[in-house]
Structure 1
């Protein structure tokens, strides 16, 4: 991503047709661009003006609203010009081309992915966690995820992290000040209650980590893969979980030849459920299409967070089922789903056997589906804490874990009889750096490039 401060422009609304489309430009001074586009117009900052959007030859491209924002009172912290016209893709491309043409003399260029938000971050309009929340809010797949992303965008997550940083800095300053007076070290930990202050920080961090880890579930969800022999009811289970007929169900074995995906939500957690082709040996497959489907099934299994292994409760396990069990990857949670209990006489139940969790249900009759949903939440680690959640990313969790490790090491030094205050202070410094990286106080340009490069253009 370019780091230059040239003025930039892009279509800021989603691709496709819509009632309204927006072309946005941002730069340190857009007076020349505005004059070239609208020679006879005078815009009052932050006020909408209905106006013709014209080409260089004076012909009208569209009619719409122009709004000018003077930096730093704008999203990016720079001067911003927004043209709101009709949302047809051809019209917006014509309007963008005209803006780029008019701004050529002042170096205006097409914005790169995430560059508007990156400028907002660099101009202190947002911190890094808030900037990431912009993309998370756009990508939210459930209402709960959207609410958590909105909370992070408002600064709630950042404020919590800042509080932890400030508490760590206060304790660190106290420790480092004591290092200048060695004769005071003996009584320092007791007089200042340094151990108690550290315990409070650790307790607060643990609470934040729980909220962030739960929020990460809302953001990422789980990849749930259904596997089993042909005609054990995988497609019926997908339909039962989705609450709609998203997969074709017939009595004919091998109906599903390729994966069928559906995203559902349970208590706000997105579950990306993948129904796969029935597994049998390649020799038993009836044609090349089925063989390819089976191969793709194992490919999806390799990417699963949770595997639902379906078996037919009406006739019990078979040798083929045991072959499937033996081939499942180690380390991935597996629920053994005994389907068709309406034919076997079993009751809906969850049985925690030594080698697996067994769930007895009927996808066709919708019996025991709630038990399966509860087991999926348990595996996900979902807890109804009643606390607000932060839509955290993996890098946030890594930083929080690392900070927790440094604080634990500081506590170990504080517990030693020789009171290694220099090591205590160093662990506090390292914890502070990890926490500060979440909001971007210590972030490399490489990290920023990765984060903002995943945004869409115009954001």
Structure 2
């Protein structure tokens, strides 16, 4: 991606709206601004302007905002044109920017330039996309914490502690006869153990943030007419799936996002798993199998009046061995039963009524527990984390454990120094201090155009 030429893009979602925004970024935007609106707007002030075509005709009238470098989102000159939000108007205005010397921005290129110009570190830049993509209010708040630099601050403090320790150890390499004395006086083992403890806390918080970002994929399985669709509707709080007394009503997978304490659970109601000659139902069952293969958790619904029968056991045997399963005994209202939860040989057992809602709260709490969620007050201490962050934190922890063992042995300080260096490098990769170009391309290519 180029970093010196002018780039432009529509920064608002496609479709019709009251306001649409075209954003331009680059060096020396003054001449382009004059060609587009006839003047250079006063920095950081809203200016009512006419947006001009090449022949001087008016494309639209709206607000122009000018942010001279370095006081802008990208760190370059930025011009934002806020006009009427119709697709035709926005496309005309974007085309005018391109004819005036800009090129179409690639996905994530505005934020990439903010990163390259030191306005954001890599973890903050990724949080921009996480704020946009947040599916729950808790996830949005968590992403904003990371965007404001709270995650990066913690990582920087760990990196600084490692840097200080590396300086001590590497300086000691020049005086091998004093190695043991220096290690003890500097309490290297104690400092390493404190770092490991802090890193574990950060990893725990990151795992919670990862849950908020990724959510949990839950698939509802069971024989036909055991109440999967009713349970789906009860958890979703609305009639998303058709419910009838006819077995095999659900022919295709129905997906719905449910928020439980801020954690997004992606529920998929599948066709009842059974042998059938119905060609349409066969397709639905095949799709159900495909969904099951990708799920994080399964809810196996069982008619409590019948208990677990051979067909239910056959369904369990057909599930992936590593897939956690909650056994949900439904229709307790037909037996005047009471909601309850217990743990059996096959896992967690929950007795409820999808029709009346009795026991649904027990199921919600169990879903959170199995997802690994630990309640926090307004996501306090939780950082929005991605898979690469988790890998970096985990690997850094392994390097620290190796370093602690070497420090206890009080020998091979060269290997100790290398473990510390590797841990520092992995942590620094989170904020982008050590990042390969291909990693940057992969990260920013997933952004929307205009951001």
TM-score over 0.5 (shorter chain): yes
1:391 aligns to what?
384
Q: Indicate whether 1:342 and 2:336 are aligned.
A: no
Aligned pair partner of 1:161 in 147, 155, 162: 155
Residues 1:199 and 2:193 are matched in the alignment: yes
- Write the mapping of 1:282-321 to structure 2, written as runs, cut at 5 A: 284-285=276-277, 287-321=278-312
Determine if the alignment matches structure 1 residue 404 to structure 2 residue 397. yes
1:357 paired to 2:348:
yes
Looking at structure 2, the residues matched to 159 and 311 of structure 1 have their Cα atoms a distance apart, in angstroms, of 49
Whole-angstrom CA distance in 2 between matches of 1:22 and 1:38: 15
- What does residue range 23-38 of structure 1 map to in structure 2 within 5 Å? 23-38=22-37
Query: For residues 23-50 of structure 1, what are the alpha-carbon distances to aligned partners after superposition, in whole Å with 9 as ceiling and x for unaligned?
Result: 00001111221122133x2321111110
CA distance in 2, matches of 1:202, 1:322: 44
Counterpart in 1 of 2:237?
243
Counterpart CA distance in 2 for 1:332 and 1:345 is 32
Aligned to 2:266: 272
TM-score under structure 2 normalisation?
0.98
Q: Which runs of 4+ in 1 moved over 6 A?
A: none
CA deviations over 1:51-74 (Å, ceiling 9, x no partner):
111211222211101111111110
Alignment equivalent of 2:54, drawn from 50, 53, 56: 56
Q: Once the two structures are superposed, what CA deviation does each residue of 1:389-418 show, in whole Å capped at 9, x if it has no partner? A: 1011011000000000000000110111x4
Q: Which runs of 5+ in 2 are unaligned?
A: none
Q: How far off is 1:145 after superposition?
A: 0.3
User: Take 1:302 and 1:353, find their aligned partners in 2: how far apart are those partners?
Assistant: 24
Match of 1:443 among 435, 441, 450: 435
- Paired with 2:20 and 2:35, the residues of 1 have a C-alpha distance of 21
Which deviates the most, 54-63 or 94-103?
54-63
- 1-side partners of 2:376 and 2:109: how far apart? 36
Could you list the per-position Cα deviations for residues 271-291 of structure 1 after superposition, in whole angstroms to 9, with x for gaps in the alignment?
00000111111xx24x21111
Matches within 5 A, 1:126-165: 126-165=120-159
Task: Tell me by how many angstroms 1:319 deviates.
Answer: 2.2
CA–CA separation in structure 2 for the residues paired with 1:130 and 1:118: 11
TM-score scaled by length of structure 1: 0.96
Q: Match of 1:428?
A: 420
SS at match of 2:252: coil
**Match of residue 207, structure 2, among 207, 213, 218:** 213
CA distance in 2: counterparts of 1:337 and 1:60, whole angstroms? 64
1:4 Cα deviation (Å)? 4.6
1:81 to 79, 82, 93: 79
Tell me, yes or no, if the aligned pair for 1:26 and 1:81 is still in contact at 8 Å.
Answer: yes
SS of corresponding position for 1:212: helix
Gap runs ≥5 in structure 1: none
User: Do the aligned partners of 1:348 and 1:367 also contact (CA within 8 Å) in 2?
Assistant: yes
Tell me the number of residue pairs that the alignment of Structure 1 and Structure 2 aligns: 449
Across the aligned residues of Structure 1 and Structure 2, the Cα RMSD in angstroms comes to: 1.1
Counterpart Cα distance in 1 of 2:180 and 2:72: 54
Separation (CA, whole Å) in 2 of partners of 1:74 and 1:379: 44
Q: Distance in 2 between matches of 1:131 and 1:304?
A: 29
